[in-house]
């Protein structure tokens, strides 16, 4: 028998309180010195979206410079090879360190995590603010290094090139070092908050799956980022004092740098994707109006992905002169990653099966995620297979693969989350039709851009090259056109989201019929989140109709 599902129309809202977190105190100073996790989340959101804009402009320029093999526009060469190197480095560094790593945890999770736990704030509010300011300092240093000189090393800073090239690489390295601390502070905060500030009655398996994902992310942030810190410190010492640990001319080892770097940067990939998965685990049950299928399996898969992330870094170095034994072991371990990822994928699909699916904008993003992440994840298995990887290493196939995971996965999920929590954060609804339209543009543009790159890569087009053979020209043209469609999609999104801010506050407390605690408080929430301490009585994602009193 089918359950009769409650309609999406919100149950009678509490009267909207006059004071909420946005207007409880006023003036710029009250924002600069705030320790309210919601305000810090909003400031982070503005910050990471600005970084996304800058990184996106660099991406469009990179694509534009590859449009013609002669790099001409209206008959004139407009870009040199050196400028091209700087552009893709800045695109990578800005997107990775300034946008995608802090994107979900520091902005959305900062806002939502304490609300979902029924807490008044994160465990260490001042540390939270410190994390934000470190991010700002890191961002300023990174931008300064772009203006004052340039960085052309790629975002990976491989030695010996990074220790010998001109430009302000040292400043960029220090910027990333500072950003690392910002990330560590966020991680420490979330782990402590999840352990100690859960609402009365909320056990570990009553946590929304978003929290499980963010918790697993925070563990990686705490355990992996210090290794990046020490690696960058060694790199800076190498550049300034030439201490020789990575310099083969004086007895050092450049491959050691790669090991150190990927020991952080592979787990960092999971700092990026786990929060994306965490958001999808909220969107799918909410918009399918169905209990999460395999709750515990999804929770454990987040943690096991976090653990696996630490033992697969060698797959970035299959052709960098590792021993054959190491290569085989890393390849085998890499295949293991497919298991928890598959567990998540099938549980999401299981949740949707026979659900009452409604295609509001956040769900459109969630479905886009499922399709794009499936492609991104499966091509990861191609690259983990040694014989295939030797052919595909450093081609556009790799570029397409990680864009399907990072952009098709994390970025799509991030914007799904932005749309999902936008009414809670701002108190306003955006235009649904424009929202679905922008999502469709981004989805189509993305596939036009990057499916092409899979083909190009398998034909041998190497990544990071400025010049290319004529046979690749048609693919580059298609890919560049795709990038314009993506750009148009994001421009549309910016327009209707900003437009929604001009309206009076019209969002109901629970516009989507969500079951987690953040939907039980007003939109936007009051300064201390809840009028009274909430107590959990039902598991999350329980969409069974209330028993009718007889």
Partner 1 sequence: MSTSTIDLHDSHGPHGHGHADDPHHQHHFTNMQQQFDTSKIGMWLFLATEVLLFGGLFVGFGLMQNRYPQEFIEAHEHLQRPLGALNTVVLLISSFTMVMAVLSAKHSDKKKVVMYLILTILCACIFLGVKYFEYSHKFEEHLLPPRWYHAQPGDTVRDVAGNVSHGYGTFFAFYFMMTGLHGIHILVGIILLSWITVRAHRGEFSKAYYTPVDLIGLYWHLVDLIWIYLFPLYYLIK
**Which residues here bind partner 1, judged by CB under 8 A?**
118-121, 123-125, 127, 184, 187-189, 191-192, 195-197, 200, 222-227, 229-231, 233-234, 237, 241-245, 247, 250-253, 256, 260, 263, 515, 517, 520, 528, 530-538, 542
Q: Look up residue 545 and give its DSSP letter.
A: P
Closest contact distance (angstroms) between CB of 218 and partner 1 is 9
In angstroms, the CA 424 to CA 510 distance is 8
Closest contact distance (angstroms) between CB of 226 and partner 1 is 4
Instruction: With beta carbons less than 8 A apart as the criterion, state whether 274 and 213 touch.
Output: yes
Residue with Cβ nearer partner 1 (191 or 272): 191
Residue with Cβ nearer partner 1 (119 or 272): 119
Closest contact distance (angstroms) between CB of 304 and partner 1 is 20
User: Which sign, positive or negative, has the C-alpha torsion 535, 538, 541, 542?
Assistant: negative
Residue with Cβ nearer partner 1 (121 or 152): 121
* 290 torsion bin: left (phi>0), alpha (psi -120 to 50), beta (else): beta
Residue with Cβ nearer partner 1 (267 or 489): 267
Closest contact distance (angstroms) between CB of 533 and partner 1 is 5
* 198 torsion bin: left (phi>0), alpha (psi -120 to 50), beta (else): beta
Closest contact distance (angstroms) between CB of 530 and partner 1 is 8
CA 477 to chain centre: 28
* 321 torsion bin: left (phi>0), alpha (psi -120 to 50), beta (else): left
Question: How many other CB atoms sit within 10 Å of the CB of residue 82?
Answer: 12
* 65 torsion bin: left (phi>0), alpha (psi -120 to 50), beta (else): alpha
Instruction: With beta carbons less than 8 A apart as the criterion, state whether 269 and 244 touch.
Output: no
Residue with Cβ nearer partner 1 (195 or 296): 195
In angstroms, the CA 353 to CA 274 distance is 23
Closest contact distance (angstroms) between CB of 260 and partner 1 is 6
Q: Which of 158, 112, 53 is nearest to 425 (CA)?
A: 112
In angstroms, the CA 43 to CA 24 distance is 16
Residue with Cβ nearer partner 1 (222 or 477): 222
Residue with Cβ nearer partner 1 (205 or 353): 205
CA 463 to chain centre: 22
Residue with Cβ nearer partner 1 (118 or 340): 118
In angstroms, the CA 199 to CA 533 distance is 8
Closest contact distance (angstroms) between CB of 14 and partner 1 is 12
**For 17-30, b where at least 16 C-beta lie within 10 A, e where not — what string?**
eeebbbebeeeeee
Closest contact distance (angstroms) between CB of 245 and partner 1 is 5
Closest contact distance (angstroms) between CB of 173 and partner 1 is 15
In angstroms, the CA 471 to CA 318 distance is 28
Q: Look up residue 77 and give its DSSP letter.
A: E
Residue with Cβ nearer partner 1 (225 or 361): 225
């Amino acid at each position: 028998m089918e359950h009769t599902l409650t309609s999406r129309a919100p149950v009678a809202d509490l009267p909207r309180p006059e004071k909420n977190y946005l207007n409880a105190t006023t003036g710029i100073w009250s924002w600069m010195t705030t320790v309210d996790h919601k305000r810090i989340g909003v400031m982070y959101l503005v910050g990471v979206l600005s970084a996304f804009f800058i990184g996106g402009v660099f991406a469009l320029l990179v694509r534009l410079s590859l449009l013609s093999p002669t790099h001409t526009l209206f008959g004139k060469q407009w870009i040199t090879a050196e400028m091209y190197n700087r552009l893709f480095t800045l695109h990578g560094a800005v997107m990775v360190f300034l946008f995608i790593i802090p994107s979900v945890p520091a902005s959305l999770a900062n806002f939502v995590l304490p609300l979902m736990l029924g807490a008044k704030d994160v465990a260490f509010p001042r540390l939270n603010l410190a994390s934000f300011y470190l991010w700002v300092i890191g961002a300023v240093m990174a931008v300064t290094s772009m203006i004052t000189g340039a960085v052309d090393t790629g975002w990976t800073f491989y030695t010996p090139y990074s220790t010998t090239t001109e430009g302000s690489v040292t400043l960029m390295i220090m910027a990333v070092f500072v950003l690392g601390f910002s990330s560590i502070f966020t991680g420490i905060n979330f782990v402590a908050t999840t352990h100690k500030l859960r609402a009365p009655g909320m056990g570990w398996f009553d946590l929304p799956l978003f929290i499980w994902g963010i918790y697993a992310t925070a563990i990686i942030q705490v355990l992996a980022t210090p290794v990046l810190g020490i690696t960058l410190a060694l790199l800076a010492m190498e550049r300034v004092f030439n201490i020789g640990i990575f310099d083969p001319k004086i007895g050092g080892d450049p491959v050691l740098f790669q090991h150190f770097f990927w020991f952080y940067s592979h787990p960092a990939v999971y700092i990026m994707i786990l929060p994306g998965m965490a958001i999808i685990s909220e969107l799918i049950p909410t918009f399918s109006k169905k209990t999460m299928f395999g709750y515990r399996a999804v929770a454990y898969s987040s943690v096991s992905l976090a653990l696996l992330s630490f033992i697969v870094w060698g797959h970035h170095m299959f052709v960098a002169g590792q021993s054959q034994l190491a290569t085989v072991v890393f390849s085998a371990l890499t295949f293991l990653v497919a298991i928890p990822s598959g567990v998540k994928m099938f549980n999401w699909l299981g949740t949707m099966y026979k659900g009452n699916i409604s295609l509001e904008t956040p769900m459109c993003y969630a479905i886009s995620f499922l399709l794009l992440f499936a492609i991104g994840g499966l091509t990861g298995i191609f690259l983990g297979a040694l014989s295939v990887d030797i052919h595909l290493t450093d081609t556009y196939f790799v570029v397409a693969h990680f864009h399907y995971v990072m952009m098709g996965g994390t970025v799509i999920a991030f914007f799904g989350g932005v749309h999902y929590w936008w009414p809670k954060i701002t108190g306003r609804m955006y235009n649904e039709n424009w929202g679905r339209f922008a999502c469709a543009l981004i989805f189509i543009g993305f596939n036009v851009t990057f499916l092409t790159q899979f083909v190009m890569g398998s034909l041998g087009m190497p990544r990071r090259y400025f010049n290319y053979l004529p046979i690749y020209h048609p693919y580059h043209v298609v890919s560049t056109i795709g990038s314009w469609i993506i750009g148009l999609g994001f421009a549309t999104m910016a327009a209707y989201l900003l437009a929604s801010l001009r309206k009076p506050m019209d969002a109901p407390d629970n516009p989507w019929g969500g079951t987690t605690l953040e939907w039980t408080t007003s939109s936007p929430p009051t300064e201390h989140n809840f009028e009274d301490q909430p107590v959990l009585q039902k598991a999350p994602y329980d969409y069974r109709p209330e028993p009718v009193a007889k």
